[in-house]
Structure 1
Amino acid sequence: MKILLAKSSGFCMGVRRAVEMVADASNDNSACIYTYGPLIHNPQVLKGLEEKGIEILEAVPEAGSGTVLLRAHGVPPQTKDALRKSGFQLLDATCPRVIKIQTIIKKYANQNHAIILIGDKNHAEVIGLLGYAGERGHVVSNMKELDLLPAFDNAIIVSQTTQNIEFFEAVKAWAKTRHPQYRIFETICDSTEKRQAELKKIADLVDAILIVGGHNSGNTRRLFEIARKSGKPAFHIETEKDLESIEFDAIARAPYVGISAGASTPNWIIKNVYRTLEQLPYKRNGWAHRWFSLQRLLLLTNIYVSLGAGCLTYACTKLQGMHHDTPYFLISILYVQSMHIINHLIGIKIEKYHDPGWISFYHRRRKPLAITAVCASVMSLAVAFALGTGPFLLLSMMTVLGLSYNLRLVPASIPWTPYRRVRDIPGSKTVLVSSAWGVLAAILPPLAINGTITWVNGIIFLWATGLGFVRTAFFDILDMKGDRLIDKETFAILLGEKRMMRWLHRILVGLIALLPVLSIFQLVSGLGILLSVCPLLMLGVISAYRNHYLLPGVRLEFFVETIFILAGCIAFVWPAVS
């Protein structure tokens, strides 16, 4: 099965802005936070906000306190005034494109124009827009209602931002023929246009179509209508769990499946749907099923990532001309294995927006995984102790820091700091994980053997840390939409996906050049030239993701981790090649 994911899928600008505003408000404000009505039309996002203590205000009370966030759809001006009079502070997350329509309606309503609004009568955006039209507003949902309108001397026609483009084109043709004096404003959001146009193109290429999004989302329902009109089997689901209730064979047997999603569908839901579809071809017996299952098991148990850390250490020890590499190889594997499992177990509630399969695996095997983590940690410290006091103390400090990542270190009685856990510090996960990999690979071995660290060791540390940083930051990008609801300030969130991607490209270009330069000046062996293949491949994988050749899932994660395994393999065969 091939899967084609629409590039326009997921949060539109207005929804993303609203979600980020309410997430930031809850992090920065100890007072009560409310949204006036549901923030967006997606039950999963609303549940996440509820768990953060953000309540939905369905009506304006006589008196209140705290902050009320006005949702992306906007509200009538009368509602704004009533909320202020009740004592609330307002945080306006109305989409800028909706504000533009509000401004147009207000202007022409004051000039005694009739306002013809093309949209769904009960939609939150339409209700908000009507508040600016007053008694001059007329909502039209179909051509029959349009024909029933009286003729106006002066009127404007505007549309709900998520309206069906074909319907609005029909309205424009009607106005041109029947009432050429009416002024028409193109107010359908360009995100909606792109989403609908892309879906039509995808429908011509695939054998079945999945539309992902809330059943109460108007723009998602319109995408589903377009998909059905294509004549291909089309299904509207909210989450990956809904795949069990649809005509599964139509999807499972389709050689090519297209996925599109509404403007209020978060990235993590789209990713989970893709993960579920990705597994369908491997449900049947055969070598492909066994190979995919093995890949998934190696990733779920963290065996593959810890082996990758060990291989990176092995490559760096060979690069520095060290021969007694086995202890450092083992320490890296055992340390990374223990820290990953322990922090996953501690933070299992925090990670719930990323991969339900992963959560289920850890819930069902919590005890054996915990035993494995403790044993791996003890064994890594034992090996380090055998190497000497310096390596043992260094690894002990790293272990304490790793164990404390998800633990509350600053009590609530100290009010002046927002950082109560290590994970609360912006970018801490990315820096700590990559630094730990760098220390294990390039600092601990020379410290144990020579008792000192040279500047060449420092440069190799930067190379290993840089490669680990790109790996961790890239996975942060894949998870960033879920992270916005769990207060995890990664670099991907702080900088934004596009800026973060540009930085990863710059880092990788530097890493590609770094080791060959050291090799040319004979500061390290010629192995440095061969190892430059690793950041080059990482650059290729990230570029493939950006161009939608690789989508988030088991195969993408396996590709990334394999790059570190490759580093060890290159170092292993280097003596024979040289």
Structure 2
Amino acid sequence: MKIIIAKTAGFCMGVRRAVEMALDSPGKHRGPIFTHGPLIHNPQVLDLLDEKGVHIIRDIPEAGEGTVLIRAHGVPPAIKKDLKKAGFTVIDATCPRVIKVQAIIKKHARQGYASIIIGDRDHPEVVGLMGFTAGKGYIAGSIEELDALPDFDRAILVAQTTLNTRLFEAVKNWARTRHPHYKCFDTICDSTAQRQAEVQKMAEVVNALIVVGGKNSGNTQRLAEIAGQSGVATFHIETESDLDVEALSAAETIGITAGASTPNWIINRVVRAVERLPYKNSAGIQKIVFSIQQALLLTNVFVAAGAGCLSYACAVLMGIGNFHPHVWISMLYVLSMHTLNNLTGLKADRYNDPEREAFYREHNRFLICLALSSGAAGLLIAYFQGITTFIVLLMMSILGLSYNIILIPKTIIGKYSRIRDISGSKTILIAVAWGVVTSILPAISAGNAFGLKTALVFFWATGLAFARTAFFDILDMQGDRIVGKETIPILLGEKKSIRMLKTILGIWVVLIISSSLTGTVPALGLGLSLCPAAMLALISMHENGFMLPGIRLEFLVESHFFLAGLVTLFYASALQP
């Protein structure tokens, strides 16, 4: 089964802005926090905001307190005025694209123009736009309704920002033919037009098309309409539990798109559920392989083995012969720390990876024992490698265990009472820990001087681990933001973060090759340049929509550490007589 995900699926700019403003409000503005009507048309997001203490008010009381966010669709000016009069602080989360339409209507209403709004009469955006027409507003949802309107000496035509592009093309043709003096403004959002165009193209190459989004979301409904009109089997769902498993199992190619108010975590859940469809009722080798992949990833055994491979590569690069103990130390330390990190990160996994959350809740005791025993075993091996190695690993383990613990009361230091409260600390500390355990500890045990070679190997290993961790942070941005994590991608933004990773990996491809050519590290460095190059290619493929989030992508990301081990094994074998 082939799965194609629309590049335009998920939050548009306006919805993302509104949701982020709502999530940030409890810590920024005086409470209680409300939204006037549903912030966006997605029940899962609204439930989430309610859990976060952001509630919906529909009627404006005579007197109130707290903060009210204006929904992404906008409201009539009178609503804002009444909210302020009642005593609320008003924060405008209206989509900037909608504000632009409001401004067009307001300007022309002052000049005496009638405003004809093409859209759904009861849609909150249209209701809000009508408030700017100065009593000279008209709504039409079809050409027939346009024909029924009186003729105006001066009028403007605007579209609801999520309108069907085909309908507005027909409206523009109608205006040119019937009322050429009317001013026509194409106010359909670029995001809407792109989504609809992509759905039309996708419908030509898939057997079934899944549209993910709220049942009452206008833009999602239009995506489903366009897909249905193309003749392809179309399924409009809100969550993965709505999937028609029997109907979809027979499809060879499935397309997945989503409305502008559908969060990434819902899309990812649907993708993972569809990814499992071919194996649901089968008992063949593919299902066995898939189940093994899933188990290795959920238990962190795969990433731990990858750390062992990286340690092996680092040892050979530094000319260290006794690498076996450090391969085990790296594996056991990473298994312990990553398992503990997942155990304390279940809130984010509820959105980022619900399967992992369910697995960790079900096997909580076993995983705690696994994390503690593997950490203890790693320390035991480190002890026999020398007291310095043991102390460094012990300090790293204590640091990892204390990451989520309140070290200084908030009453004394404020926000930064835990290490995790330091913005971006998770990504950097994980990468540095990988670098130390895979390269510095072997160098300490071997008594190597901390020269240029050791530094290069350390930064190479740290760079690979940083790229891995930061890339997963990019995939988990929405879930991390919901639970208040400030990872590097959240601080920089997705595009800047991807650009940063591609730059780092590109630099390391050049550095490791040049270091080999100059003799700073062995010729093995030429082969190991494949590791950052492979990661760079994987990130680029994901960026361009060729690699879907899910088990396959996660497995491939972790596999580039195995590539380091495999290349090193071939190199070592070639050197043997």
TM-score, shorter chain, exceeding 0.5:
yes
Q: Which moved more, 1:533-542 or 1:140-149?
A: 140-149
Counterpart of 2:104 in structure 1 is: 104
Superposed CA RMSD: 1.6
Counterpart of 1:163 in structure 2 is: 163
1:396 counterpart letter in structure 2 = L
Counterpart of 1:539 in structure 2 is: 536
Counterpart of 2:343 in structure 1 is: 345
Instruction: Say if 1:29 and 1:154 are closer, same or farther in 2 by CA, change over 3 A.
Output: closer
Counterpart of 1:41 in structure 2 is: 41
Identity, % of aligned positions: 52
- Displacement of 1:121: 1.8
Counterpart of 2:495 in structure 1 is: 498
Q: Does 1:421 align with 2:418?
A: yes
Counterpart of 1:402 in structure 2 is: 400
Could you list the per-position Cα deviations for residues 457-513 of structure 1 after superposition, in whole angstroms to 9, with x for gaps in the alignment? 122111100010001111111111222212111111211111111111110111112
CA contact (8 A) 2:505 2:532 kept: yes
Q: Which moved more, 1:168-177 or 1:378-387?
A: 168-177
Could you list the per-position Cα deviations for residues 366-418 of structure 1 after superposition, in whole angstroms to 9, with x for gaps in the alignment? 1111111111111111111222221121111111221122333343434x632
CA distance in 2, matches of 1:295, 1:434: 24
1:401 counterpart letter in structure 2 = L
Structure 2 counterparts to residues 154-193 of structure 1, below 5 A: 154-193=154-193
Q: Does 1:561 align with 2:558?
A: yes
Could you list the per-position Cα deviations for residues 251-275 of structure 1 after superposition, in whole angstroms to 9, with x for gaps in the alignment? 1111111111100111121122111
DSSP-derived class of the 1:367 partner: helix
CA distance in 2, matches of 1:78, 1:433: 51
Counterpart of 1:268 in structure 2 is: 265
Could you list the per-position Cα deviations for residues 136-177 of structure 1 after superposition, in whole angstroms to 9, with x for gaps in the alignment? 111222333323222222221111100111122222222233
Instruction: Say if 1:308 and 1:29 are closer, same or farther in 2 by CA, change over 3 A.
Output: farther
Counterpart of 1:510 in structure 2 is: 507
Q: Does 1:4 align with 2:4?
A: yes
2:219 counterpart letter in structure 1 = N
Could you list the per-position Cα deviations for residues 324-379 of structure 1 after superposition, in whole angstroms to 9, with x for gaps in the alignment? 11111111111111111112112212321111211111121111111111111111
Could you list the per-position Cα deviations for residues 504-544 of structure 1 after superposition, in whole angstroms to 9, with x for gaps in the alignment? 11101111122222222322221111111111111111111
Counterpart of 1:208 in structure 2 is: 208
CA distance in 2, matches of 1:410, 1:291: 47
Counterpart of 1:477 in structure 2 is: 474
CA contact (8 A) 1:113 1:154 kept: yes
Q: Which moved more, 1:120-129 or 1:17-26?
A: 17-26
Could you list the per-position Cα deviations for residues 84-115 of structure 1 after superposition, in whole angstroms to 9, with x for gaps in the alignment? 22222222221111111111111121222221
CA contact (8 A) 2:240 2:269 kept: yes
Q: Which moved more, 1:351-360 or 1:307-316?
A: 351-360
CA contact (8 A) 1:49 1:485 kept: no
Structure 2's unaligned 5+ residue stretches are none
Equivalent of 1:306 in 292, 304, 308? 304
1:494 counterpart letter in structure 2 = L
CA distance in 2, matches of 1:406, 1:350: 14
- Displacement of 1:222: 0.6
DSSP-derived class of the 1:41 partner: coil
CA contact (8 A) 2:477 2:489 kept: yes
Counterpart of 2:380 in structure 1 is: 382
Counterpart of 1:153 in structure 2 is: 153
- Displacement of 1:451: 7.1
CA distance in 2, matches of 1:28, 1:353: 23
CA distance in 2, matches of 1:347, 1:166: 45
CA distance in 2, matches of 1:558, 1:100: 44
1:553 counterpart letter in structure 2 = G
Instruction: Say if 1:87 and 1:14 are closer, same or farther in 2 by CA, change over 3 A.
Output: same
Counterpart of 1:519 in structure 2 is: 516
Structure 2 counterparts to residues 115-126 of structure 1, below 5 A: 115-126=115-126
Instruction: Say if 1:314 and 1:149 are closer, same or farther in 2 by CA, change over 3 A.
Output: same
DSSP-derived class of the 2:139 partner: strand
CA contact (8 A) 2:30 2:67 kept: no
Counterpart of 2:285 in structure 1 is: 287
Instruction: Say if 1:174 and 1:518 are closer, same or farther in 2 by CA, change over 3 A.
Output: closer
CA distance in 2, matches of 1:519, 1:185: 61
Structure 2 counterparts to residues 433-472 of structure 1, below 5 A: 433-450=430-447, 453-472=450-469
CA contact (8 A) 1:353 1:482 kept: yes
CA contact (8 A) 2:348 2:479 kept: no
TM-score (norm 2): 0.96
CA contact (8 A) 1:310 1:332 kept: yes
CA contact (8 A) 2:349 2:356 kept: no
- Displacement of 1:286: 1.1
Counterpart of 1:322 in structure 2 is: 320
CA distance in 2, matches of 1:451, 1:546: 41
CA distance in 2, matches of 1:30, 1:63: 16
Structure 2 counterparts to residues 45-60 of structure 1, below 5 A: 45-60=45-60
DSSP-derived class of the 2:287 partner: helix
CA contact (8 A) 2:347 2:483 kept: no
CA distance in 2, matches of 1:95, 1:294: 45
Counterpart of 1:278 in structure 2 is: 275
